[in-house]
Structure 1
Amino acid sequence: MNAYIITIGDEILIGQIVDTNSAWIASELTQIGITVKQVRSVSDDAWAIENTLRDALADVELVIITGGLGPTKDDITKNTLAKYFDSSLVFNEEVYNDVISFIERRGSQMNTLNRDQALFPEKAKLLRNLNGTAPGIWFEEEGKIVVSLPGVPFEMKSLMKIEVLPRVQAFFQLPAVVYQTATITEIGESQLALKIEDWENKLPQGMKLAYLPSPGMVRLRLGMTAGNKQETKKLLDAELQKLKQFIPKNIVSLNEESLPVVIGNLLINSNKTLSTAESCTGGNMARLITSVPGSSAYFKGSLVAYANEIKTQVLGINPELIEAYGAVSQQVVEQMALSVRKLLKTHYAIATSGIAGPDGGSDEKPVGTVWIAVADDNNVVSKLFKFGNEREINVTRSSFAGLNLLRKIILNDL
């Protein structure tokens, strides 16, 4: 069972926005046993949309389209699909009522463009969108499905979860595929592959491994077509447990939990609290921590001490330390961790100070040099990291490195 994903919009092709919809849709389809054969982005052009759709339907059974369903003149997807499937656009009272309800909740008033969104292809099935004004559209033809969804990510995701995925599973006979994912840190993809080569070579027949690298992390995803989902899950769990023999200090989680979630669980289970003092990470660690629902139970706050005067005036770092060793130093970052822990009255504190780049480096401290410290009730532990030249990646890797150092301290696994 194969699928195409088509994203529509000039704004994607000119790089004005990043297409995150395709990655999310592909992940959801994969989890229900559908293989995504191709992802395409096309312009707001009827000819381009029609030809791309024609190519897709010649090759796969399911096509999911996002974008171009809005109320303005450049949103032509609905009209193009209606023409492609030889379907008239007719007034749909259910859509109209949904649009009125949505607009009234926002304190706005209906206009002509809003009303036109109630014009719906007569041959299509309605996918109600309760989070916006553009409904989803479901076409069936010769045993194949074409679904058109709004390009707004949260509207698209809601429609996928509530309407599309259940309908697709009911329409097609899909194999049950089970996945389990391990989160690995402090080791690169190629080095990891060498370390676990024997384990990978001995995986049971039909079990597939995927390496999913990102800055500071590698996720290992095991997948297998299941006759019995529970039994297959047990098989996958058992294989992931064997990773402890090969990379015991690199495993963050064997059950798909992210590092911020793992940190949160450790702090909740130990009834401890956390604060951060961030220089080169600029608050990114705090962002990761607070991305977890319920993080207010253990995270008290963060101080972004980007400038040296904030380090000295707010955190109380001795200016002579900065003068003698520099802001990016073991001495300064340890004092930052100790100071913010005292200031915010937490059990643990993480501090970062580094040179994210692209400028600011020197022969002694090149771009990518980062000091990270974690302070607790009894001690402060610091570590020097040497990352690369890319600013955004350095910020991300530093943030994960700080969280991981805290994890290892809590687990007494340094």
Structure 2
Amino acid sequence: MKAYIIVIGDEILSGRTLDTNSNFIAKKLDQIGISVSQISTISDNPNSIIKKLTDAFASDNDFIITTGGLGPTKDDRTKQTIANFLCDELILNQKTLDFITKLYCTNGRTMNDLTKKQAMVPSSSEVIINRYGTAPILWTKKFNKVLINLPGVPYETQAMIDEFIIPKIKKEYKLPYIVRRSVIVVNYPESDLAITLNNWESHLPDFISLSYLPSGARIELRLSAKGNNKEILEKAITNEIEKLSSILKENLISAQTTNIVEIIADFFTKNHLTLSVAESITGGNISHKITYLAGSSSYYKGGITAYSSKIKESILQIPESYIDVHKVVSEEIAKEMANKCASLFNSTVAISTTGIAGPGSDEFNDPVGLAYVGLYMNGKTYATKYYYPNVTRDEMISRITNKALEMIYFKIVKNK
């Protein structure tokens, strides 16, 4: 089954308001086996709405979903336009009026005529009370399709999608099973990976699709299987991942989770290891990634953002003379940061980062895009150099964060 999403609102087109609804709806539909064929954003103009609805109903989509334009103000024209499109009329829905009245009374407000108009709905539409707002949701069957009209307020739409729309679709329609599995691939350029996997990919069963999802220097390969027999789908996905593992070998990090922090957390906790972090270029991003996962306190001791040389000297106790000799962005400083960090936090393992994210260089005139990741473990220190001269500042920080986590994985988890 397929769906067409129409986002209605001049505020979206102007860029003043970010459209989060279509992304949320598409994800939720995808999870139950409904593919989104198109997402369109249009103005509140009635002619634009009629034209887009006409196009959507002429397509082979099973569901047409709109968001926005259901409010009480004059610029919210969707409901009347929908009635016109359906050759229908707006009538008072008493259930909706009672709900709105109760909502206003509870909050100590007086309901005006514009708010009362929220209870006017097309006579052919099934009304779903929006318990998070005053604009009801409309569910209309026409020409073997379902038109679903949702408000534009994100928290209202998203809550109602979860609580009512998705359960209603699942109840009323026979949907396919979907099985998804992802693997993480590192140290493999996307084009080289595609060439390596060409033969394997060309022999995938018709019911399995593959997506390449790059994130910096890391790539997630997502396999999705859709069909009527869940057991067959799961076996097929498992079989293909086993083939992938034999092809990619050490470049495939995990076939169980796409979150490398989960792998690290599990390993450190089970092996009674502790971790601390000294960050310069990554500015606390590694610590954020680690602590975002619940339970990190079982192995993570803490971190320091030693962004300036003075902090490296005063807190990490790296002598100024040592920094002057080797420069802040160097293998030696990365190693010493990791070594001092382990001592400061009394951790068995420590990771460090130093580099230049740009846009300008540092006091030593090192090139933008240069970075080092240091690691301390078992009384030894290691460092790896990275150079990404043609990426943005945000991308540089993201890549070095990923490389630091991968260094922990390859040096410690993989070599257990």
In structure 1, C-alpha distance between the alignment counterparts of 2:173 and 2:203, rounded to whole Å: 33
In structure 1, C-alpha distance between the alignment counterparts of 2:400 and 2:113, rounded to whole Å: 47
In structure 2, C-alpha distance between the alignment counterparts of 1:320 and 1:109, rounded to whole Å: 70
In structure 1, C-alpha distance between the alignment counterparts of 2:286 and 2:56, rounded to whole Å: 42
Contact 2:220 2:258 in 1 (8 A): no
Aligned position for 2:401: 399
In structure 1, C-alpha distance between the alignment counterparts of 2:200 and 2:141, rounded to whole Å: 45
In structure 2, C-alpha distance between the alignment counterparts of 1:300 and 1:151, rounded to whole Å: 44
Aligned position for 1:320: 321
Amino acid at match of 2:391: N
Aligned position for 2:220: 219
Helix, strand or coil at the partner of 2:250: coil
Aligned position for 2:373: 372
In structure 1, C-alpha distance between the alignment counterparts of 2:346 and 2:219, rounded to whole Å: 34
Aligned position for 1:10: 10
CA deviation after TM superposition for structure 1 residue 378, in Å? 3.2
Contact 1:180 1:233 in 2 (8 A): no
Aligned position for 2:141: 140
Matches within 5 A, 1:96-107: 96=100, 99=103
Contact 1:358 1:389 in 2 (8 A): no
- Which whole-Å deviations, capped at 9, do the CAs of 1:36-92 have from their partners, x for residues lacking one? 211112234333233222211221221222344556665554454455443426351
- Which whole-Å deviations, capped at 9, do the CAs of 1:131-159 have from their partners, x for residues lacking one? 56655433322321122334455544332
191 and 111 in structure 1: CA distance in 2 versus 1, 3 angstrom threshold = farther
CA deviation after TM superposition for structure 1 residue 115, in Å? 4.8
TM-score scaled to structure 1, two decimals?
0.85
Aligned position for 2:25: 25
CA deviation after TM superposition for structure 1 residue 122, in Å? 5.0
The alignment covers a number of residue pairs equal to 410
Aligned position for 1:65: 66
Q: More displaced, 22-31 or 160-169? A: 22-31
- Is the aligned partner of 1:298 residue 2:302? no
- Is the aligned partner of 1:409 residue 2:408? no
- Which whole-Å deviations, capped at 9, do the CAs of 1:298-327 have from their partners, x for residues lacking one? 334332222222222233222223222222
In structure 2, C-alpha distance between the alignment counterparts of 1:375 and 1:132, rounded to whole Å: 54
- Gaps of at least 5 residues in structure 1 are none
Q: More displaced, 142-151 or 118-127? A: 118-127
CA deviation after TM superposition for structure 1 residue 177, in Å? 3.2
In structure 2, C-alpha distance between the alignment counterparts of 1:132 and 1:174, rounded to whole Å: 30
Aligned position for 1:56: 56
What do you get for the CA RMSD once the two structures are aligned? 3.2
365 and 238 in structure 1: CA distance in 2 versus 1, 3 angstrom threshold = farther
In structure 2, C-alpha distance between the alignment counterparts of 1:113 and 1:379, rounded to whole Å: 75
Q: More displaced, 180-189 or 254-263? A: 254-263
Amino acid at match of 1:139: T
In structure 1, C-alpha distance between the alignment counterparts of 2:110 and 2:307, rounded to whole Å: 47
- Is the aligned partner of 1:174 residue 2:175? yes
Amino acid at match of 1:227: N
CA deviation after TM superposition for structure 1 residue 233, in Å? 0.6
305 and 143 in structure 1: CA distance in 2 versus 1, 3 angstrom threshold = same
In structure 2, C-alpha distance between the alignment counterparts of 1:94 and 1:413, rounded to whole Å: 66
332 and 167 in structure 1: CA distance in 2 versus 1, 3 angstrom threshold = same
In structure 2, C-alpha distance between the alignment counterparts of 1:44 and 1:201, rounded to whole Å: 45
- Which whole-Å deviations, capped at 9, do the CAs of 1:119-139 have from their partners, x for residues lacking one? 352543344555566554333
Q: More displaced, 91-100 or 317-326? A: 91-100
Contact 2:71 2:118 in 1 (8 A): no
CA deviation after TM superposition for structure 1 residue 229, in Å? 0.2
- Which whole-Å deviations, capped at 9, do the CAs of 1:346-390 have from their partners, x for residues lacking one? 333322211112332799843221211222343332211122331
367 and 205 in structure 1: CA distance in 2 versus 1, 3 angstrom threshold = same
Amino acid at match of 2:259: S
Structure with larger Rg: 2
Amino acid at match of 1:143: N
CA deviation after TM superposition for structure 1 residue 272, in Å? 3.2
- Is the aligned partner of 1:384 residue 2:388? no
Aligned position for 1:46: 46
270 and 14 in structure 1: CA distance in 2 versus 1, 3 angstrom threshold = farther
Aligned position for 1:311: 312
Identity, % of aligned pairs? Answer: 33
Contact 2:327 2:364 in 1 (8 A): no
Contact 1:31 1:179 in 2 (8 A): no
Amino acid at match of 2:370: T
141 and 269 in structure 1: CA distance in 2 versus 1, 3 angstrom threshold = farther
In structure 2, C-alpha distance between the alignment counterparts of 1:136 and 1:365, rounded to whole Å: 58
Amino acid at match of 1:374: L
Q: More displaced, 279-288 or 68-77? A: 68-77
- Which whole-Å deviations, capped at 9, do the CAs of 1:229-255 have from their partners, x for residues lacking one? 022112101211221222222223213
Amino acid at match of 2:261: P
Aligned position for 2:276: 275
153 and 277 in structure 1: CA distance in 2 versus 1, 3 angstrom threshold = farther
Amino acid at match of 1:332: I
Helix, strand or coil at the partner of 2:318: coil
288 and 130 in structure 1: CA distance in 2 versus 1, 3 angstrom threshold = farther
Helix, strand or coil at the partner of 2:329: coil
Aligned position for 1:36: 36
